[in-house]
Amino acid sequence: MGLFAPPPWGYDDGMDKNGFSNAQWAFLRVLGIAETVAVPPPPKNPGLPSVQTLPSCIGSPAVPKAELQATAEADQLPGQNQVMTLGQTSPAHGAVPSDAHLGQRGRMIQAMDWGELTHSIHACRACSLGETRQHAVVGAGTPAGPWLFVGEAPGAEEDRRGEAFVGRGGQLLDAMLRAMGLSRQQNVYITNVLKCRPPNNRDPLGPEVKACLPFLQRQIALLQPKVIVALGRFAAQGLLQSQEPLANLRGKPQFYGEIPVIVTYHPAYLLRNPVDKRKAWLDLQLALRTFAQHSSRTAASAVATE
C-alpha cells in the first residue's frame, strides 16, 4: 500500500447519509458535539484510531533500534555556523514578543493588519534570502481556521509557486491533516518560520530566523489560533524561543503565550524516516485532545461570563 493510500479505517471512504465522513464523525466526537449534530450510523471503527490502527498515511509501526537512531538524528542541534541565537531556554509560558524586546522594525510589524503584513513580507529585504527567492511565501490555507501549522521554510516548489507546503512534504502534511479530520481548505492555516527559501534548502541561519520571526509573531497575533502545531526543530525552537532539542519539546503541550503548541516532526523528516511516523501520529492525537480541551474550556468561560 502506498504512503498516501487511504487510511484503513475508512477515513476517506466518502460520506454517510448525514453528509459526514468517518473522519469528520471522529473529529466531532473528539469535540464532544457529535450527538448534537445528528445521529450517525454505527461507525466501522469508533473513536480516533489508536496507535495500533495507525493510518497508512502516517506509516508503519516502529522498529525500536532504527527508531532510536532516527530520533537521535532528528534531535541534533544546529551546527556551529547555523546556530539559532534566539534565546536562552524556554520561557515558562511561551515567547510572545514584549515591547521591551522589539526594535523599531518589530514594533512596526506588530502594528500591521493582514494586508500590510502580506505586502511587507513580499517586499522584505531584511536578509539575503530576499535576493535569491523567486517568491516570498506568506502561507496557505484558511486564515480564519482555528488551527495553525508552522513549518521551517519554503522549498523549491513553494518558492516557485509562492504557496506553503505544496511539494512532497506538503502532500504528506495534507495526509496527516486528513487523518486528523482537518484540511487546509476548511480549518487549517499553514505557514513557515522563514518566508523565503534558503538556497539549496539548507537549514535556516540564526540571523535569518531573527529577521523573519516578527512576521510569524504578527501572523499569530492576527490569526489567534486555538492550537499551533510546530513541524520540526526550527519551527519549535523559533516559536518557543528555545534551544531545547525536539525530543524534549514533544509529548506535552508547550505554550506560545496562552496558545498551546504541540511539537512534532517535520514532514520532510518523516519522508526520510518513516519509522517515526508512529510517534508523529501520537503527537497529532495529542494536538486533537488539546484542541478539544481548549475548546471546551473556552466555551465554559464564555458561558461563565454571559
Taking the complex as a whole, the smallest distance from the CB of residue 137 to ligand URA amounts, in Å, to 6
Beta bridge pairs of residue 264: 231
Cα angle for residues 28, 18, 12 (degrees, 5° grid): 65
Contact call for residue 97 and ligand URA (CB under 6 A)? no
Contact call for residue 154 and ligand URA (CB under 6 A)? yes
Contact call for residue 158 and ligand URA (CB under 6 A)? yes
Cα angle for residues 164, 170, 175 (degrees, 5° grid): 135
* Extended strands (E) in 55-200: 140-141, 147-151, 188-192
Residue 181 vs residues 22, 25, 65, 249: alpha-carbon distances, Å: 9, 8, 31, 24
Taking the complex as a whole, the smallest distance from the CB of residue 218 to ligand URA amounts, in Å, to 18
Taking the complex as a whole, the smallest distance from the CB of residue 172 to ligand URA amounts, in Å, to 10
Contact call for residue 165 and ligand URA (CB under 6 A)? yes
Contact call for residue 159 and ligand URA (CB under 6 A)? no
Q: Which of 26, 62, 109, 164 binds ligand URA (CB under 6 A)?
A: 164
Quick one: which segment of 28-36, 53-61, 79-87, 163-171 binds ligand URA (CB under 6 A)? 163-171
Strand 227-231 with 254-256, pairing: unpaired
List the one residue out of 181, 184, 228 whose CA is nearest residue 49. 181
User: Nearer to ligand URA by C-beta: 16 or 157?
Assistant: 157
User: Nearer to ligand URA by C-beta: 62 or 148?
Assistant: 148
Contact call for residue 139 and ligand URA (CB under 6 A)? no
Q: Which of 59, 146, 169, 225 binds ligand URA (CB under 6 A)?
A: 169
Taking the complex as a whole, the smallest distance from the CB of residue 212 to ligand URA amounts, in Å, to 13
Residues that bind ligand URA (rule: CB under 6 A) add up to a total of: 13
Determine the residue with CB nearest ligand URA.
151
Taking the complex as a whole, the smallest distance from the CB of residue 164 to ligand URA amounts, in Å, to 4
Contact call for residue 152 and ligand URA (CB under 6 A)? yes
- Report the C-alpha gap between 120 and 233 in whole angstroms: 26
Distance of CA 71 to the CA centre of its chain: 19
Residue 89 vs residues 24, 93, 105, 191, 237: alpha-carbon distances, Å: 39, 11, 24, 24, 10
CA 79, 84, 85, 89 torsion-angle sign: negative
Considering only residues 266 to 295 of the shown chain, the ones binding ligand URA according to CB under 6 A are 268
Considering only residues 178 to 207 of the shown chain, the ones binding ligand URA according to CB under 6 A are 192
Q: Where are the alpha helices (DSSP H) in 139-276?
A: 156-161, 168-179, 206-223, 233-240, 246-249, 267-272
60 φ, ψ to 5°?
-100, 160
Residues at the contact surface with ligand URA, assessed by CB under 6 A:
151-155, 158, 164-165, 167, 169-170, 192, 268
